[in-house]
Amino acid sequence: MTGFASPAARAAFIAGLPKAELHLHIEGSLEPEQMFALAGRNGVQLAFDSVDAIRAAYAFSNLQDFLDIYYQGMAVLLTEQDFYDLTAAYLARAAADTVRHVEIFFDPQGHTARGVPFAAVVGGIARALADAEARGLTSRLIMCFLRHLPEADAEATLDAALPFLHLIHGVGLDSSETGHPPEKFARVFARARSLGLKIVAHAGEEGPPDYVWQALDVLGVDRIDHGNRSLEDEGLVQRIAQLGLTLTVCPLSNLKLCVVNDLARHPLRQMLNAGLKATVNSDDPAYFGGYVNANFTAVADALDLTRAEILALARNSFTGSFLPAETVATHLAAIDAWDLATR
């Protein structure tokens, strides 16, 4: 084990390592206890009679079972305070994992379709982010379009977001990837870019390498979410490396959704060795087995990651963020200080 006396020593190093999280769906941080509490507060009838029953349902074995429970969970989120509480709970866990900066996805279409006002969604999330920023945890908010819906729906969502663009830093593309290529959303992403928004997209998680090419060439992404299947195309790997784009990789999510069947076969090291700026993130942590430190530790143990590799992943999380260069430099210095202090 290069650079560590034991797995426990490596886990302790990871626990105190400054890091950013760049791939986190706020709706996917809804823990069973909070789902049950919000259902009670809002008078929402769940198909579960206890927290334990919800937790058992979280032990899904395929994507559809995950989506079923995921959307049931979203049904308890109705008021601005609900979105504040959801976001504040995640931010507390992130801070405990020595996360210094977060870039959070939210899915407004999943809420407005249920009659929840856009203002309630973004207002609650943004208020929690502001409170955390006052405590030193910075953030960016990224609005995702649901790719299984028509582009016209995404256009309407962007229209609804216009009064709130001072709170939103970017747009993304998520939900069911296969059969819904990025090119389907070319016009709305071009419009978002013209409004000054950063562009990211889920690509190459389940979908083919061609979807990653489309994200690059059609959408003009500033960052790629997941991107695992990029490794199937050497020309694509070279292009991503040449552009210096960051990949937001989610190891426990990949395992839970069978993108990989064993973390020991996860392509994270392969990405780093290919010159790609990979990062480690938690995706939907309440559903996929843990927050960012759990992801770091699990994949580090499975691949026997070295100190240098772990440091590279942490540095990539800041250099791949949408923070200004001077702030990134401050965080990189903090990583160097932790490295020096723990030798």
Indicate which CATH number applies to the domain containing 242: 3.20.20.140
Is 206 one of the annotated active-site residues of the chain?
A: no
Q: How confident is the model at residue 1 (pLDDT cuts 50, 70, 90)?
A: low
The answer to whether residue 107 sits within a structural domain is: yes
Considering the domain boundaries, does residue 51 fall inside one?
A: no
For 235-273, the three-class secondary structure string (H helix, E strand, C coil) is HHHHHHHHHCCEEEECHHHHHHCCCCCCHHHCCHHHHHH
User: What is the C-alpha to C-alpha distance for residues 23 and 102, in angstroms, rounded to an integer?
Assistant: 8
pLDDT at 63 over 80: no
Range of the domain at 314: 7-30+77-335
Higher pLDDT pick, 294 / 176: 294
- Which pLDDT tens digit goes with each residue over 114-172? 999 999 999 999 999 999 999 999 999 999 999 999 999 999 999 999 999 999 999 99
What is the CA angle 273-246-28, rounded to 5? 115
Residue 324: CB atoms within 10 A of its CB come to: 9
For 8-26, what is the mean pLDDT?
97
At 30, phi and psi to the nearest 5? -80, 100
Say how far apart CA 92 and CA 94 lie, in whole Å: 5
Q: Provide the pLDDT for residue 48.
A: 87
Two tokens, residue 83: 């979105």
Q: Is residue 39 part of a domain?
A: no
35, part of any domain: no
Residue at 52 is within a domain: no
Q: What is the pLDDT of residues 177-209, one digit of tens each?
A: 778 899 999 999 999 999 999 999 999 888 899
Question: Exposed, middle or buried by CB within 10 Å (0-12, 13-18, 19+), for 321?
Answer: buried
> Does the structure show a pLDDT above 90 at 176?
no
Say which of 27, 205, 206, 309 is annotated catalytic.
Answer: 205
Q: Is residue 239 part of a domain?
A: yes
Structurally, the chain folds into a number of domains equal to 1
- The answer to whether residue 40 sits within a structural domain is no
Give this prediction's pTM.
0.95
pLDDT category, 18, cuts 50, 70, 90? very high
Domain annotation covers residue 67 = no
Residue 103: φ, ψ to 5°: -125, 105
At residue 122, the pLDDT reads 98
